[in-house]
Amino acid sequence: MLGTLALVALVMIVAGVALFFHTRALVDRNGAACPACDPFQAQGPMNVLVLGSDSRAVLDPQDLQHYDPNATDRNSGQRADSVVLLHIDPTAAKAVALALPRDLRVPAPRGGYQKINGFYNQGISAMVKAVHDFTGLPVNHYVEVNFNSFRTITNALGGVNVRFTRKVLDTDSGLNQPAGCNLLTGDQALAFVRVRHIDSDYGRIARQQLFVKLMMEKVLSAGTLLNPQKVVSLINLGAGNVGHDSGLGLSTMSSMALRFRHFSSTDLDFRVVPSLPQPDGYVVANTAQSTALFTAMRTGHPLPDYGKQGVSAVDASNVAATILNGTKLAGVAAQARTSLEAKGYTVVKTGNADRSDYAATVVYYTAGNQQKAQFLATQLFGGAQVQPVPAALNVTAGDAVVVLGKDYSPNAVAPKSPGSTNPLLPAGPAVVEPAAQPWFSAC
């Protein structure tokens, strides 16, 4: 959450490269050593770990066993409320903002596991190392921001407008908004990006991503960049409220600013580590999909679809499916059709699959419809594998193609336990989890 505002603050500093001498002292004064950071290669991609601190004194019970009471780092006793790895490609002038769920399960230094945000207890170096060990990506720099910085920067920009599809009242975070397009500033903006209990941590990440996109559009608008007084004010706030490593100095920012002078919010690809929540409170990464995503980022290849976070509403009424029988049992496709249509889905057609020995049900998606296929798989097919439709099926109509396997039963379609070891679990999940339909969007 707060990490997303650090991205905005970084953009604000970069946007003010013309005010080089004015900002020199402001940028340099918040620099700190980062022994765990990898040296940045001037012409290569840059990875910036963006952290938001919740400044809590009470640790998570699952992290307490790994807490070092003798730690001398200034972050001892705190957890990272938001963890984002910003991957900047100067050659393509594009960037990827990879969100790591705060409850992501990673190996603990003393054995066992802990949530990744707990490494912040041990300081920036421990957090940098944990992210590097998990992703395999070098971390060149870090940026951190806190709650007060978030309020200050948001208010300086005049807030952002967010559409609420329904009235929202959450006593825990303090979020209180009527249905409609509302201006969010200060505490309400903070509550919007921080609330966790009325949807999920994935919904929370989606809200953070939407908010930073809207903030970036304000920062990069002509009304801001062509107003010298506003630019100076934003640079003062950004540099004064954001901490960073000493290597992320003004010369580095100036160089990046020149390369990114035509950068817009559409050039920032938002992703979340492909993962699923577990009953024990951890979030467990899908190893195969995460590795594929990290490898593409490291090698500069096009990113796979893994980790895309959907923020648009998907429900049964806008999902059309083809159902194919992948077993030797007659009438299975017709039974599934009856079940889907009863729940409001559209069934384009039924038939037989390319073979009759499917052990497990698979939900395939046609071009551009991965989100709908994953919604269907999660809702009705126990979290079945979700893959692009193969040519062998010879199906292009509809959003999804369901191939029923031997595991299918029309009377047993409840979702599998999140603890399933299926290596092809949905990425993300890229759709909002069951019973947590999106209630927000851009105005």
Tens of pLDDT along 81-104? 789 998 988 777 788 989 999 999
CA dist 366 and 290 (Å) reads 22
Q: At residue 146, does pLDDT exceed 80?
A: no
Query: Which residues, at least 6 apart from 416, have a Cβ–Cβ distance to it below 8 Å?
Result: 382, 383, 422
> b or e along 400-438 (b: 16 or more beta carbons within 10 Å of the residue's beta carbon)?
bbbbbbbebeeeebebeebeeeeeebbbbbbbbbeeeeb
The verdict on 118 and 27 lying in the same domain is yes
51 within 8 A of 37, measured Cβ to Cβ: no
The verdict on 52 and 85 lying in the same domain is yes
The verdict on 189 and 134 lying in the same domain is yes
List the CATH number of the domain containing 334: 3.30.70.2390
Q: Residue 411 domain-assigned?
A: yes
pTM of the model: 0.64
Q: Tell me, what's the pLDDT at 150? A: 77
The verdict on 96 and 179 lying in the same domain is yes
* pLDDT, greater one: 218 or 326: 326
Domain that holds residue 82: 2-299
Handedness of CA 428, 431, 432, 435 (dihedral sign): negative
Q: Residue 359 domain-assigned?
A: yes
Among 299, 324, 348, the domain-final residue is 299
Confidence of residue 325 (pLDDT cuts 50, 70, 90): very high
* pLDDT, greater one: 280 or 145: 280
297 within 8 A of 94, measured Cβ to Cβ: no
β-strand partners of 442 = 162
Q: For residue 298, count other CB atoms closer than 10 A to its CB.
A: 15
Residue by residue, DSSP assigns 128-148 as: HHHHHHHH-----EEEEEEHH
Q: At residue 107, does pLDDT exceed 90?
A: yes
Average pLDDT on 10-39 reads 53
Confidence of residue 205 (pLDDT cuts 50, 70, 90): confident
Q: What percent of the chain has pLDDT over 70?
A: 67
The verdict on 54 and 10 lying in the same domain is yes
Handedness of CA 34, 38, 39, 44 (dihedral sign): negative
Instruction: Report the range of poorest mean pLDDT among 21-30, 190-199, 286-295, 378-387.
Output: 21-30
Q: Residue 83 domain-assigned?
A: yes
Q: For residue 335, count other CB atoms closer than 10 A to its CB.
A: 18
Q: Tell me, what's the pLDDT at 402? A: 95
CA dist 280 and 272 (Å) reads 20
Average pLDDT on 59-67 reads 38
Q: Residue 255 domain-assigned?
A: yes
Q: Tell me, what's the pLDDT at 228? A: 56
Q: Tell me, what's the pLDDT at 133? A: 96
Instruction: Report the range of poorest mean pLDDT among 11-20, 197-206, 272-281.
Output: 11-20
Among 253, 272, 299, the domain-final residue is 299
Q: Residue 203 domain-assigned?
A: yes
The verdict on 196 and 248 lying in the same domain is yes
Phi, psi dihedral angles at 154 (to 5 degrees) = -60, -45
The verdict on 261 and 374 lying in the same domain is no
Domains held by the chain: number: 2
147 within 8 A of 5, measured Cβ to Cβ: no
The verdict on 274 and 412 lying in the same domain is no
The verdict on 283 and 354 lying in the same domain is no
CA dist 122 and 282 (Å) reads 20
Q: Residue 439 domain-assigned?
A: no
Q: Tell me, what's the pLDDT at 27? A: 44
Q: Residue 209 domain-assigned?
A: yes
The verdict on 211 and 285 lying in the same domain is yes
Burial class (CB in 10 A: 0-12, 13-18, 19+), 42: exposed
Q: Tell me, what's the pLDDT at 415? A: 39
The verdict on 295 and 346 lying in the same domain is no
Confidence of residue 175 (pLDDT cuts 50, 70, 90): very high
For residue 438, give the nearest of 203, 275, 225, 216 by alpha carbon. 203
pLDDT tens sequence across 125-140: 999 999 999 999 999 9
The verdict on 332 and 201 lying in the same domain is no
List the CATH number of the domain containing 233: 3.40.630.190
Average pLDDT on 304-320 reads 69
Q: How far is CA 10 from the centre of its chain?
A: 19
